[in-house]
C-alpha cells in the first residue's frame, strides 16, 4: 500500500532526487518547482517512515503456519488442548461447555456396550440390571447427538455462550443405570471387544468416573477435557505465542480428519511452514467409523502418502506424531499385530511394533531431501507433551533459519 502511495507521489509531485529543470525557467516557475520538490520530499519521507513502521510490525508479528493433519480420532484436537495448557490461556474458556461433551462421551460408551450385548445375544450377569438395560435400549441417537454437539461446543467456545443442557440432563437421568451396567460382568466382557465395536479409546476413563460426573456442581478437570472426544467440524485456526521463540507466533490449522471433511483441506495448503501429521499407532486393529472395510492404520498410511508427496508439500518438512502409545502398550499384550498386518514379521513387543510402523510411514516419502521428524506420543500426558512441544518449537526454528539462509 505504501509502495503504491510512493509511486503516486512521484508522478504527481516529481522526483526530489532527480528533479526536472525546464529550460528558460522563470523565477516564479523556479519558486513553484522548489516548493513542489519540498512537498514531494516531505511526502516521500512520510512514506519511508510508514514503510519502516510496517516492516517493524511485520517483524514483531512474524508467525509460523502449521497444518495439523491426520485421520479421524488420531488425537489432533487433544494436541491442541495441550498447546492451550502449555502455551495458551489454559482450558478455562471451554471448561463449562465441555461438561455436556463429557456426559455424552459416557452415554456413547455405554450405548455401544449395550448394543454389543444385544447383538451378541448374550444376557446380563445380574438379572436386576435388566431394567437399566431397557433404559439404554430406548436411547437411539446418542452418537448423532455427540457429533451435533461437537459443532455446538465449538460455536459456544467461540461465542462464549452456553448451549442447552439436554445432554447433561439425559446423562444424570441414566447415571445410576450406567454405574450398575458397568459393574456387570457381561458388559465388562463386551468391553474386551472395544476395538471391534468402535468404542472410543477413553471409554474406560469416563465409565470409571460416572459418580463424579453426576454431581450437580460438576466442572470438568483438565484431564476430563483432554480425554473427551470431540469431532472436529470444518477447519479451526488457533494462535499461540511462544515467548523467546523465532517466530514467536504459531498459527495452527486443525482440520477434520473424517473422510467427508478432507475435501476442505486444500485451501489451507498454501504458504505452510510445516505439517504436523498425526496417526493413532494403536489403531492397527480398528476400522474406520465411516467405512468398516478400511483398516484405520492403513487409511493413515495412505493419507500420509498423499500429504507427504503432494506437489505443494514436496519440500515441506513433516513432524510425524505416532500417537496413543499408551493404548498400544496395553493392546499388544492381547492382540497380535501380524493378524492385521501380514507383512509384519517381528516380535509382538512395543519396540519392534513401533519401529515397524515408523518404517511403514517413512517408506511413503518419495523425496529424499524432505525431513520427517518422528515422535511417539501420548497426547493426553501433559508432562510428555511439554517435552515434545519444545522439540517441535526447535524444529520450526531450525526450519526458519534454513529458509532465511542462515544455516
Q: Which residues are annotated as a binding site?
A: 73-78, 201-202, 226-232, 323-326, 379
In degrees and rounded to multiples of 5, residue 233 shows phi and psi of -105, 120
Residues 6+ apart with CB under 8 A from 139: 107, 111, 170, 174
Q: Which three cell numbers stand for residue 253?
A: 490449522
Distance between CA atoms of residues 246 and 329, nearest Å: 36
In degrees and rounded to multiples of 5, residue 322 shows phi and psi of -90, 100
Going by the annotation, the residues of the binding site for Mg(2+) are 77, 232
Q: Are 50 and 353 in contact (CB under 8 A)?
A: no
Distance between CA atoms of residues 370 and 305, nearest Å: 13
Going by the annotation, the residues of the binding site for GTP are 73-78, 201-202, 226-232, 323-326, 379
Q: Are 72 and 147 in contact (CB under 8 A)?
A: no
Residues 6+ apart with CB under 8 A from 218: 99, 212
Q: Are 4 and 52 in contact (CB under 8 A)?
A: no
Q: Which three cell numbers stand for residue 225?
A: 477435557
For strand 249-255 and strand 372-376, is the pairing parallel, antiparallel, or unpaired? unpaired
Q: Are 71 and 112 in contact (CB under 8 A)?
A: no
Q: Are 200 and 113 in contact (CB under 8 A)?
A: no
Distance between CA atoms of residues 170 and 135, nearest Å: 11
Q: Which three cell numbers stand for residue 158?
A: 467461540
Distance between CA atoms of residues 248 and 64, nearest Å: 8
Distance between CA atoms of residues 366 and 386, nearest Å: 31
Residue whose C-alpha is closest to residue 147's, from 68, 58, 66, 261: 261
Give the dihedral sign, CA 29/31/34/35.
negative
String of b and e for 363-402 (b: at least 16 CB within 10 Å)? ebbeeeeebbbebbbbbbebebbeebbeebbebbeebbee
Amino acid at each position: 500500500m505504501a509502495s503504491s502511495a510512493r509511486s503516486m507521489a512521484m508522478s504527481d509531485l516529481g522526483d526530489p532526487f532527480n528533479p526536472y529543470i525546464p529550460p528558460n525557467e522563470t523565477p516564479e516557475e523556479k519558486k513553484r518547482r522548489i516548493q513542489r520538490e519540498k512537498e514531494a520530499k516531505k511526502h516521500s519521507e512520510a512514506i519511508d517512515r510508514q514503510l519502516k513502521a510496517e516492516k517493524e510490525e511485520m517483524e514483531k508479528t512474524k508467525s509460523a503456519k502449521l497444518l495439523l493433519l491426520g485421520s479421524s480420532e488420531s488425537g489432533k484436537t487433544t494436541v491442541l488442548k495441550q498447546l492451550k495448557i502449555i502455551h495458551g490461556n489454559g482450558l478455562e474458556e471451554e471448561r463449562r461447555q465441555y461438561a455436556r461433551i463429557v456426559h455424552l462421551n459416557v452415554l456413547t460408551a455405554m450405548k455401544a456396550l449395550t448394543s454389543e450385548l444385544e447383538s451378541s445375544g448374550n444376557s446380563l450377569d445380574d438379572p436386576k440390571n435388566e431394567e437399566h438395560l431397557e433404559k439404554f435400549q430406548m436411547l437411539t441417537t446418542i452418537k448423532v447427538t455427540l457429533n451435533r454437539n461437537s459443532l455446538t461446543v465449538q460455536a459456544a467456545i467461540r461465542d462464549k455462550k452456553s448451549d442447552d443442557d439436554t445432554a447433561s440432563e439425559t446423562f444424570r437421568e441414566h447415571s445410576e443405570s450406567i454405574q450398575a451396567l458397568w459393574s456387570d460382568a457381561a458388559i465388562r466382557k463386551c468391553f474386551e471387544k472395544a476395538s471391534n465395536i468402535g468404542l472410543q479409546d477413553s471409554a474406560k476413563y469416563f465409565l470409571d468416573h460416572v459418580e463424579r460426573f453426576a454431581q450437580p456442581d460438576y466442572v470438568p478437570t483438565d484431564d476430563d477435557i483432554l480425554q473427551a472426544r470431540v469431532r472436529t467440524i470444518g477447519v479451526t485456526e488457533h494462535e499461540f505465542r511462544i515467548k523467546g521463540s523465532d517466530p514467536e507466533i504459531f498459527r495452527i490449522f486443525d482440520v477434520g480428519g473424517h473422510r467427508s471433511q478432507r475435501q476442505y483441506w486444500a485451501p489451507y495448503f498454501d504458504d505452510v511452514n510445516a505439517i504436523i501429521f498425526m496417526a493413532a499407532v494403536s489403531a492397527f486393529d480398528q476400522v474406520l467409523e465411516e467405512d468398516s472395510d478400511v483398516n484405520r492404520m492403513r487409511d493413515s498410511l495412505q493419507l500420509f502418502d498423499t500429504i507427504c508427496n503432494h506437489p505443494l508439500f514436496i519440500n515441506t518438512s513433516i513432524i510425524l506424531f505416532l500417537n496413543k502409545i499408551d493404548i498400544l502398550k496395553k493392546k499388544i499384550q492381547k492382540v497380535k499385530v501380524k493378524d492385521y498386518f501380514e507383512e509384519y514379521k517381528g516380535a509382538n513387543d512395543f519396540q519392534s511394533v513401533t519401529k515397524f510402523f515408523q518404517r511403514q510411514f517413512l517408506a511413503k516419502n518419495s523425496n529424499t531431501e524432505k525431513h520427517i521428524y518422528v515422535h511417539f506420543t501420548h497426547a493426553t500426558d501433559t508432562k510428555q507433551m511439554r517435552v515434545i512441544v519444545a522439540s517441535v518449537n526447535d524444529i520450526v526454528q531450525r526450519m526458519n533459519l534454513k529458509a532465511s539462509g542462515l544455516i
